């Protein structure tokens, strides 16, 4: 049995990490039974969440977890896609994970109001210095990535381009690549949910909410893969 290590529900989401939601959705897509356990990044093989454990074997990083499922459970997340479509799906995934994600982190951690409401509470009970150090590490990572070097307005402009690109690519299709869900939908739904969560306030969420097809897509994907969570939110 696979154990998936994540953070657990927060920020009105099944998990604050879009990578955990991605992996959880992919395990559900593949019909694989798993247990969920909470863990801190320090416990992860690559220092980042999610990771999985199967017996004594641990796999870190959502993309390598997907590769593990494809190899060991003989499941093709992109079944029915041509080679060119698989390449497009990979490019979309990279845009969301290596670009939009960093704008979401910036919005949550470096905006004072969102920080106080959200990520600062990861450190409840710890000395304030621990929370401040973690926030400074995120600031340094943002600088290393490059996104954090831009002004707030420039970051929002760049985030908007990725949100708009996803919205245009999705168009009025039920799923990113067409009529059936494929691997990239796990990332796209997770990132859309992370950007749209009503928990945080500000420009990024406002810009995401302009794309009504992304809201409908998030709702559709959650009804399918997180039915309990979707119902609870609707109640």
Ligand X SMILES: N[C@@H](CCC(=O)N[C@@H](CS)C(=O)NCC(=O)O)C(=O)O
Chain residues binding ligand X by CB under 6 A are 17, 19, 41, 47-50, 61-63
Cα within 13 Å of Cα(91), Cβ side: 10
Least CB distance to ligand X at residue 101 (A) = 7
Least distance to ligand X, CB of residue 98, Å: 8
Q: Which residues contact 96 (CB under 8 A, 6 or more apart)?
A: 162, 166, 187, 188, 191
The least distance separating ligand X from the CB of residue 137, rounded to whole angstroms, comes to 7
217: Cβ contacts below 8 Å, ≥ 6 apart: 170, 188, 189, 192
Nearer to ligand X, 133 or 180 (CB): 133
Output 37 or 180, the one with its CB closest to ligand X: 37
Residues 6+ apart with CB under 8 A from 85: 78, 177
* Least separation in angstroms between CB 99 and ligand X: 13
**Nearest to ligand X of 32, 216 (CB atom):** 32
The pair of three-digit structure tokens given for residue 183, joined into one six-digit string:
């691997």
- Whose Cβ is closer to ligand X: residue 43's or residue 178's? 43
Beta carbon nearer to ligand X, 38 or 210: 38
- Backbone phi, psi, residue 230, to 5°: -60, -40
Residue 55, judged by CB atoms within 10 A of its CB (0-12, 13-18, 19+), counts as: exposed
CA distance 147 to 63: 22
CB of residue 24 to ligand X, shortest distance in Å: 12
């Amino acid at each position: 049995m696979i154990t998936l290590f994540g953070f657990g529900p927060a920020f009105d989401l099944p998990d604050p990490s879009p990578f955990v939601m991605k992996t959880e959705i992919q395990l559900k897509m593949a019909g694989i039974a798993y247990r969920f356990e909470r863990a801190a990044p320090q416990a992860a093989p690559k220092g980042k969440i999610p990771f999985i454990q199967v017996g004594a074997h641990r796999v870190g990083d959502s993309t390598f977890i997907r590769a593990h499922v494809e190899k060991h459970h003989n499941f093709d997340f992109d079944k029915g896609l041509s080679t060119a479509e698989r390449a497009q799906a990979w490019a979309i995934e990279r845009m969301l994970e290596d670009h939009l994600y960093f704008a979401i982190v910036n919005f949550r951690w470096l905006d004072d109001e969102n920080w106080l409401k959200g990520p600062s509470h990861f450190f409840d009970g710890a000395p304030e210095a621990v929370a401040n150090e973690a926030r400074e590490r995120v600031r340094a990572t943002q600088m290393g990535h490059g996104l954090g070097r831009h002004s707030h307005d420039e970051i929002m402009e760049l985030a908007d381009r990725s949100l708009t690109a996803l919205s245009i690519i999705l168009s009025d299709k039920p799923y990113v690549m067409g009529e059936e869900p494929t691997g990239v939908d796990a990332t796209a739904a997770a990132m859309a949910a992370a950007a749209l969560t009503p928990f945080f306030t500000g420009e990024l969420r406002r810009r995401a909410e302009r794309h009504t097809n992304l809201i409908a897509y998030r709702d559709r994907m959650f009804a399918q893969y997180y039915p309990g969570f979707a119902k609870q939110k609707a109640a």
